[in-house]
Amino acid sequence: MTIHVYFVRHGQTYLNLYDRIQGWSDAPLTDKGLADADRVANELKHVKFDAAYSSDLSRTVITARRILKNNVSIIKEPIQESAFREEFFGFYEGAIGPDTWAEIGKADGLTRFEQFVNRYTLEGARDLIAKSDPFHDAEDDQAFWHRFGHGLNILRQLPDQSTVLVVSHGTAIRSIISKYAKDIDPVAPSNGSITQIDLSKDQTQVNFYNQLTLTNK
């Protein structure tokens, strides 16, 4: 059993543009974000999807609809699944990114999220953010994977050899790479980038990550 999954990161939002922390909080797509969606739609227009999912946040729903609009598939509306949401940052949702990372990382002299990842790994950074949340609402790594892993298991229940679109979020897609593709540098994926994985009963195979084009893939 193999399920072929095309993960796409949503187009740029205003919170992305303003460098604010965006997990479960939402914001409209910018003009660039709409262009991101249309560009990836053109890349994927000849990939016939047997199923299509997005998270239940508008930035992924709108991106998915624009991808499906001119796709060869008859599917024009994604299934909205909360399991594919971004990591939840709790108290830090919507906060100014640089200020927040400097505050959380003050004891270690860290001022950027990438420094957290380099020092602690993506999983460790997630745990540190959760530990620092004064309301204890932010997801730690275990909570994130309990939810997001459920989403992957939903895909595993699809018919064998299904080809699936999932429009999700940057850190969520990046987490797949960090967990299942140790040979790939888990840099932050670009808005509108494509990551292709194959799911089997008990394996997750990453075929490519963070690509803006399917050329030579």
Token pair 């980038």 is found at: 193
Annotated binding site: 9-16, 59
Which parts are annotated binding residues for substrate? 9-16, 59
- Catalytic annotation present for 86: yes
Q: Round to whole Å and give the CA distance between 139 and 104.
A: 15
Catalytic, 136? Answer no
**3-class SS string, the chain:** CCEEEEEEECCCEHHHHCCECCCCCCCCECHHHHHHHHHHHHHHCCCCCCEEEECCCHHHHHHHHHHHHCCCCCCCCCEECHHHCCCCCHHHCCCEHHHHHHHHCHHHCCCCHHHHHHHHHHHHHHHHHHHHCCCCCCCCHHHHHHHHHHHHHHHHCCCCCCEEEEEECHHHHHHHHHHHCCCCCCCCCCCCCEEEEEECCCCEEEEEEEECCCCCC
- Catalytic member of 43, 86, 93, 139: 86
Letter string b/e over residues 184-194, b meaning 16 or more CB atoms within 10 A of that residue's CB: eebebbebbbb
Catalytic residue ranges:
10, 86
